[in-house]
Amino acid sequence: MLLIYCPYCQVERAETEFHCGGEAHIARPADPSKASDEDWVEFLYMRTNTKGIAAERWRHNNGCGRFFNAVRDTVSDKFLKFYKAGEPMPDLEAIAKEAGK
Cα–Cα distances (Å) from 78 to 2, 31, 37, 53, in that order, read 9, 36, 36, 9
d(CA 3, CA 101): 21
Among 23, 66, 83, 101, binds another protein (CB under 8 A): 66
φ/ψ of residue 80, rounded to 5: -110, -20
| Shortest distance in whole angstroms from residue 41 CB to another protein | 7
72: contact with another protein by CB under 8 A? no
Footprint on this chain of another protein (rule: CB under 8 A): 1-3, 8-11, 13-14, 16-17, 19, 21, 27-29, 31-33, 35, 37, 40-41, 43-44, 57, 59, 61-67, 76-77, 85-86
